[in-house]
């Protein structure tokens, strides 16, 4: 945004466009004073050169001064310089000297043509000056509009855009600005103003409503609902008017050049508003699509992951009730174990749903305490003993690992979900590994399996809600929430989690990393006590 000095220069040049005068501001007495000084200086130079050059060349000195005055101060001071130069030329250089009388008729012609040439020269110089200033002003205006377009291109909210537009118009045109858009009830309301103002009077509101509804200029200086305060212009997009912009200032009305600049700024703002609204509509559509996808995934998961264990529980319970007397103790124990296992599976399913709800709503309250990795892993393995019963579990936790400041319940749930995932995606009898390593900067814990692994395209997506990897021949049960919960819990605890594939064979590897900031300040010996 241009500073005040640049803005003053732009205002002066813009006034030159409409031909008021040519010095870059209201015609001031000192402009003529400087004209007198310049002609006096030219006279002094001519008096010095006259004995050397003769009268034929002295007029060029005055013409030089006239051109300089026309370029610097414009037409009227240069015309005054023409008259002063003719008088000085006559008084000092045309006989009889030091009088305005002209004895020789030839000198009258010389003086006349000198004045004509001086006037024509001043007109040409003034015209060239005005043309140059007009071009420079248009270039500055174009540059300012380009800078404004770049500025608003990075704005993503409507309120920020409206405030930026109001400030830009106020800075470039020295105007008070108010921007009105229809609210939820369809009535125009002030959305931005510079200087800040959240209300306009009834007459201004009526003029703004006319500008918005009929897409026409209204208010101050117009015949449409004339007011003493603001001139309102419609804020239009390709879909029609969407609001109104009101401007006002004390003093002179807007010049044609200022009106063109104001219209250009409003048009740029309208295009940006349309872009923001289109982006908002796209985001809303994307959110609606994502919501529908999640809803469908959740319903599908519920229908499958509730139906299957409930069917197993119902079948086992029915068998025990109707035919329990026909079964031996081993068969009854197997049916009871089926009921227990499926009930635990349902419990994990419900726990995952509750955990995801807590993550989504920010309802997790951490209860940090010094945590030993070995104890946390042991507790998770104890909970997953039934699920991992057909797998070979290898644990490699070196002694002396740093104690971590974690919420034990959340961390244990992360391990449970990772172990459940490993058991789900690897064949019975395969190995599930848990290992760790650490130093003074970080601690890493890995959970690996010998399943089919994860496709490269899914290595990051596995942590998305309801995303399940389809690889291998088996239909995998599950909601697609477990790994998403793992990432959410680990990040809440201050760590990171990453999925990779084993390098020495098939299988997935999940690595949890806790940085030094997660280390507990309590020594291991004190924590053990």
Both 86 and 216 in one domain: the answer is no
Using alpha carbons, select from 403, 397, 470, 409 the residue that is nearest to residue 437: 397
User: What's the pTM?
Assistant: 0.47
Both 191 and 97 in one domain: the answer is no
Length of the chain measured in residues: 529
Task: Provide the pLDDT for residue 15.
Answer: 40
Yes or no: say if 371 and 404 are a contact pair by the CB < 8 Å rule: yes
DSSP H or E run through 196: none
The crossing angle, in degrees rounded to 10, of helices 482-493 and 329-361 is 50
State the Cα angle at 15 between 71 and 126, rounded to 5°: 20
Task: Provide the pLDDT for residue 4.
Answer: 39
Both 381 and 470 in one domain: the answer is yes
Q: Is residue 325 in a domain?
A: no
Q: Which of 94, 122, 151 is the last residue of a domain?
A: 151
The residue with tokens 């050397």 is 52
Yes or no: say if 220 and 244 are a contact pair by the CB < 8 Å rule: no
The residue with tokens 């391990």 is 415
Both 118 and 163 in one domain: the answer is no
Q: Is residue 48 in a domain?
A: yes
Both 53 and 76 in one domain: the answer is yes
Q: Is residue 53 in a domain?
A: yes
Tens-digit pLDDT profile for residues 453-462: 888 888 888 8
Task: Provide the pLDDT for residue 312.
Answer: 81
Task: Provide the pLDDT for residue 519.
Answer: 92
DSSP H or E run through 513: strand 508-515
HSE toward the beta carbon, residue 170, CA cutoff 13 A: 16
Q: What CATH number should be reported for the domain holding residue 490?
A: 3.30.565.10
Q: Is residue 332 in a domain?
A: no
Using alpha carbons, select from 466, 515, 521 the residue that is nearest to residue 493: 515
* Phi, psi values for residue 96, rounded to 5°: -70, 135
Both 185 and 134 in one domain: the answer is no
Question: Between β-strands 231-237 and 431-438, what pairing exists: parallel, antiparallel or unpaired?
Answer: unpaired
Yes or no: say if 13 and 133 are a contact pair by the CB < 8 Å rule: yes
Both 38 and 19 in one domain: the answer is yes
Yes or no: say if 169 and 262 are a contact pair by the CB < 8 Å rule: yes
DSSP H or E run through 400: none
Both 88 and 209 in one domain: the answer is no
Using alpha carbons, select from 495, 484, 353 the residue that is nearest to residue 411: 495
Q: Is residue 516 in a domain?
A: yes
Neighbours of 505 (CB within 10 A): 10
| Separation between Cα atoms, residue 234 and residue 54, nearest integer Å | 67
Yes or no: say if 244 and 192 are a contact pair by the CB < 8 Å rule: no
Q: Is residue 335 in a domain?
A: no
Which residue range forms the structural domain that includes residue 412? 364-528
Both 524 and 421 in one domain: the answer is yes
The tokens for 97 are 């000297």
Q: Is residue 104 in a domain?
A: yes
Both 75 and 190 in one domain: the answer is no
Using alpha carbons, select from 496, 527, 485, 495 the residue that is nearest to residue 406: 495
Per-residue pLDDT of the chain (529 residues; tens, 9 = 90+): 444 344 444 444 444 433 333 334 456 677 788 888 888 888 888 888 877 766 556 778 888 888 888 878 777 888 888 888 888 877 888 778 778 777 677 767 777 777 787 788 777 777 877 787 777 777 777 887 888 888 888 888 888 989 988 888 888 888 899 999 998 888 888 888 888 877 788 888 888 888 888 888 888 877 766 666 788 899 988 888 889 999 988 877 777 878 888 888 888 888 888 888 888 888 888 878 776 766 666 666 566 566 767 888 888 888 888 877 777 888 888 888 888 877 877 777 777 667 666 666 666 778 889 999 999 999 999 988 888 988 999 999 998 899 999 988 889 889 988 998 899 889 999 999 999 998 889 999 999 999 998 888 888 888 887 676 665 444 455 556 778 888 888 988 899 999 999 887 789 999 999 999 999 876 555 555 5
Q: Torsion angle, CA of 478/481/487/488, rounded to 10 degrees?
A: -150
Both 135 and 163 in one domain: the answer is no
Task: Provide the pLDDT for residue 377.
Answer: 94
Tens-digit pLDDT profile for residues 204-242: 888 888 888 888 888 887 776 666 678 889 998 888 888
Q: Which of 151, 169, 186 is the last residue of a domain?
A: 151
Q: Which of 118, 151, 184 is the last residue of a domain?
A: 151
Both 169 and 80 in one domain: the answer is no
Yes or no: say if 194 and 171 are a contact pair by the CB < 8 Å rule: no
Neighbours of 226 (CB within 10 A): 13
Cα distance between the two ends of the chain: 65
Q: Is residue 181 in a domain?
A: yes
Structural domains of the chain, count: 3
| Separation between Cα atoms, residue 116 and residue 444, nearest integer Å | 94
């Amino acid at each position: 945004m241009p500073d005040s000095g640049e803005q003053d220069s732009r205002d002066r040049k813009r006034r030159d466009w409409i031909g008021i005068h040519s010095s870059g501001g209201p015609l001031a007495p000192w402009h003529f004073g400087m004209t007198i000084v310049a002609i006096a200086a030219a006279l002094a130079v001519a008096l010095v050169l006259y004995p050397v050059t003769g009268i034929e060349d002295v007029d060029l000195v005055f013409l030089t001064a006239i051109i300089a005055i026309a370029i610097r101060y414009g037409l009227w001071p240069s015309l005054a310089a023409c008259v002063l130069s003719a008088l000085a030329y006559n008084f000092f250089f045309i006989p009889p000297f030091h009088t305005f009388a002209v004895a020789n008729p030839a000198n009258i012609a010389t003086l006349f043509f000198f004045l004509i040439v001086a006037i024509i020269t001043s007109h040409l110089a003034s015209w060239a000056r005005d043309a140059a200033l007009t071009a420079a002003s248009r270039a500055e205006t174009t540059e300012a509009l380009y800078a404004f377009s770049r500025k608003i291109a990075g704005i993503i909210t409507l309120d920020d855009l409206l405030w930026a537009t109001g400030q830009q118009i106020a800075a470039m045109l020295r105007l008070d600005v108010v921007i009105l858009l229809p609210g939820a009830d369809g009535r125009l309301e002030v959305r931005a103003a510079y200087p800040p103002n959240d209300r306009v009077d009834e007459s201004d509101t009526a003029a703004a409503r006319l500008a918005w509804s009929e897409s026409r200029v209204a208010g101050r200086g117009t015949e449409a609902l004339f007011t003493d305060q603001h001139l309102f212009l419609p804020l239009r997009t390709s879909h029609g008017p969407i609001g109104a912009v009101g401007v006002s200032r004390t003093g002179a009305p807007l010049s044609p050049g200022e009106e063109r600049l104001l219209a250009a700024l409003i048009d740029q703002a309208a295009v940006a508003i349309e872009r923001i609204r289109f982006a908002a509509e796209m985001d809303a559509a994307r959110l609606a699509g994502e919501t529908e996808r999640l809803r469908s995934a959740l319903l599908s998961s519920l229908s499958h992951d509730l139906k299957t264990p409930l069917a197993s529980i119902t079948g086992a319970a029915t068998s025990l009730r109707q035919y329990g007397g026909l079964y031996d103790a081993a068969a009854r124990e197997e049916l009871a174990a089926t009921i227990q296992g499926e009930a635990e599976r349902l419990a994990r399913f419900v726990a995952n749903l509750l955990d995801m709800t807590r993550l989504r709503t920010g309802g997790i309250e951490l209860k940090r305490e010094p945590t030993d990795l070995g104890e946390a892993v042991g507790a998770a393995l104890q909970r997953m003993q039934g699920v991992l019963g057909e797998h070979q579990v290898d644990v490699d936790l070196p002694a002396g690992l740093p104690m971590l400041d974690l919420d034990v319940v959340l961390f244990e749930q992360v391990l449970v979900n990772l172990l459940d995932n490993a058991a789900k995606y690897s064949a019975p009898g395969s190995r599930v590994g848990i290992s760790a390593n650490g130093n003074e900067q970080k601690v890493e814990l890995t959970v690996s399996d010998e399943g089919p692994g994860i496709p490269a395209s899914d290595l990051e997506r596995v942590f998305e809600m309801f995303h399940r990897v389809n690889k291998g021949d088996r239909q995998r049960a599950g909601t697609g929430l477990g790994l998403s919960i793992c990432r959410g819990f680990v990040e809440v605890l201050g760590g990171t989690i990453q999925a990779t594939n084993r390098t020495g064979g098939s299988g997935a590897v999940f690595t949890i990393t806790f940085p030094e900031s997660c280390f507990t300040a309590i020594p291991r010996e004190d924590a053990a006590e």
